[in-house]
Amino acid sequence: MSKFKFSVGPWNVHTGADSYGPETRKPVDLETKFAKFAELGFSAVQFHDDDAVPDMNNMTVEEIKEYARGVKKLLDKYGLAAEFVAPRLWMDPHTVDGGFMSRKKEDRDFALWRALRSIDIANELGAKFLVLWLAREGTLCAESLDPAWATKQLVEAINEMLRYDSKIRVAIEPKPNEPVDRSVCGTMGHVMAVSAATIDPSRVGGNLESAHAVLAGLDPTNEIGFALAFDKLYTVHLNDQNGLKFDQDKSFGVENLRSAFNQVRILSKYNYGSKGEYVGLDVKAMRTTSDEDGYEHLKNSLAIFKALEAKVEKYDEEYANKLIAQRKYEQLEMYVLNLLMGIE
Ligand code: GLO
Ligand code: MG
């Protein structure tokens, strides 16, 4: 029995298309996904604004809220909560060259409109915060954007969100690249600095994704720990990543089990979840996966997380501390590896 509650986004059950090939699985409707999420043991759903309200660009504010209320009923039917809403600022013609940092005022206004509507949707669904994955906030051509100006645009956009709703919180999900070449806000350190510059730092935190930390050449556990130290880890996107290449969103723990163990360990050590935080997954099924196996990556990620929780329970802190005091790090390393390999 896990002491954590888990969340997942509808985009994590997907049709398998990649940059070089078409879809390989049939689309699945939202209600079928909800039913399956509940059956697998998830407690909450993460949303893009248009996962909840698909045609929102062509709807009035009242119509958007009304539609979101319907989605809330569907969540209730399956006993699921809504964790967060994320404005999807990377698919629309208005966001070809970014959202909050777009060079065009009209497109920045659109991005802000989507963020404010995301707050409306969050309120209807009962979600407590927004996630900002800053997909295109950076450059493809290095000289095309002034990073100082761009950072200020981001701070000002977040200030608008904080002003719009006195309760809403904002979690930035940093990523160093992809789909842009160089992002403006690539690590948890950037997130903390942006938070500090807003009008209410107590409502701006982060969402650490394991794969994004690896892409930045950083250790996911240290990134998680950094945010925890400032009490600003609003959620996590656990997954895995094989080195520096495209963002893979592999099942949690399948590439680097020791790193996964350490991520579970730090979350557990600092009682992550005690303020209602969810352990969020952001994992993709392999392209070769069949329709009937379209949830296997979610099942596997949960199973691996829970198995590592049991390993964390077994981890002998006293013994480890003794080794640390004596600087016997070779022995400590072997102790951890033996624990993971099941060698007593
Ligand atoms: C992509 C991101 C993406 C976001 C999601 C929520 O690299 O991880 O999956 O987490 O769109 O905004
Ligand atoms: Mg993510």
State which ligand 1 atom lies nearest to the alpha carbon of 46.
Answer: 6
Q: Average pLDDT for residues 242-266, to the nearest whole number?
A: 98
Pocket test for ligand 1, best of 282, 283, 284, 297 (most atoms within 8 A of CB): 282
Q: Where are the domains of the chain?
A: 6-315
State which ligand 1 atom lies nearest to the alpha carbon of 175.
Answer: 7
Q: 233-238 and 182-183: which strand pairing? A: unpaired
Query: Phi/psi at 82 (nearest 5 deg)?
Result: -100, 130
Dihedral angle computed from the Cα positions of residues 17, 23, 26 and 32, in that order, rounded to the nearest 10 degrees: 20
| pLDDT band with cut points at 50, 70 and 90 for residue 344 | confident
**CA gyration radius for the chain?**
20
**Sign (positive or negative) of CA dihedral 280, 302, 210, 287:** negative
Residue closest via CA to ligand 1's atom 2 equals 133
Query: Phi/psi at 234 (nearest 5 deg)?
Result: -80, -30
Percent of the chain with pLDDT over 90: 99
The ligand 1 site (C-beta within 6 Å) comprises 86, 131, 133, 173, 175, 209, 237, 247, 282
Beta strands in 190-301 (DSSP E): 204-209, 233-238, 279-281
- Residue 154: how many CB atoms within 10 A of its CB? 22
Pocket test for ligand 1, best of 46, 49, 173 (most atoms within 8 A of CB): 173
Q: Average pLDDT for residues 172-184, to the nearest whole number?
A: 98
**Distance between CA atoms of residues 125 and 52, nearest Å:** 9
Residue closest via CA to ligand 1's atom 11 equals 133
Q: 233-238 and 44-48: which strand pairing? A: unpaired
Residue closest via CA to ligand 1's atom 7 equals 247
The two counts, helices (H) then strands (E), for the chain are 12, 10
pLDDT of residue 56: 98
Q: Name, in order, each residue with C-beta under 8 angstroms of 341's C-beta and a sequence gap of 6 or more.
A: none
For residue 10, give the ligand nearest its CA: 1
Q: ∠ CA(33), CA(30), CA(241), 5° rounding?
A: 55
Residue closest via CA to ligand 1's atom 10 equals 133
Residue closest via CA to ligand 1's atom 3 equals 133
Q: Which residues surround ligand 2, an ion (CB under 5 A)?
A: 209, 237, 282
Q: What is the pLDDT of residues 271-327, one digit of tens each?
A: 999 999 999 999 999 999 999 999 999 999 999 999 999 999 999 999 999 999 999
Q: What is the pLDDT of residues 51-94, one digit of tens each?
A: 999 999 999 999 999 999 999 999 999 999 999 999 999 999 99
**Distance between CA atoms of residues 53 and 31, nearest Å:** 14
Q: Give the Å distance between the CA of 274 and the centre of ligand 2.
A: 22
Q: Give the Å distance between the CA of 133 and the centre of ligand 1.
A: 6
Q: 233-238 and 279-281: which strand pairing? A: parallel
**Distance between CA atoms of residues 169 and 129, nearest Å:** 5
| pLDDT band with cut points at 50, 70 and 90 for residue 1 | confident
- Cα separation values, 152 from 148, 156, 184, 267, 289, Å: 6, 6, 11, 32, 43
Q: Give the Å distance between the CA of 343 and the centre of ligand 1.
A: 37
Q: What is the pLDDT of residues 121-148, one digit of tens each?
A: 999 999 999 999 999 999 999 999 999 9
pTM for the full predicted model: 0.98
User: Which residues are known catalytic residues?
Assistant: 48, 51
pLDDT of residue 302: 98
**Distance between CA atoms of residues 26 and 30, nearest Å:** 13
Tokens 């949303």 map to which residue? Answer: 47
Identify the bridge partners of residue 170 per DSSP, sorted by sequence position. Answer: 130, 204
Q: Give the Å distance between the CA of 280 and the centre of ligand 1.
A: 11
Q: Which of 85, 80, 84 is nearest to 38 (CA)?
A: 80
Task: Say which CATH topology domain 6-315 has.
Answer: TIM Barrel (3.20.20)
- With a cut of 90, say whether residue 46 has pLDDT above it: yes
Percent of the chain with pLDDT over 70: 100
For residue 172, give the ligand nearest its CA: 1
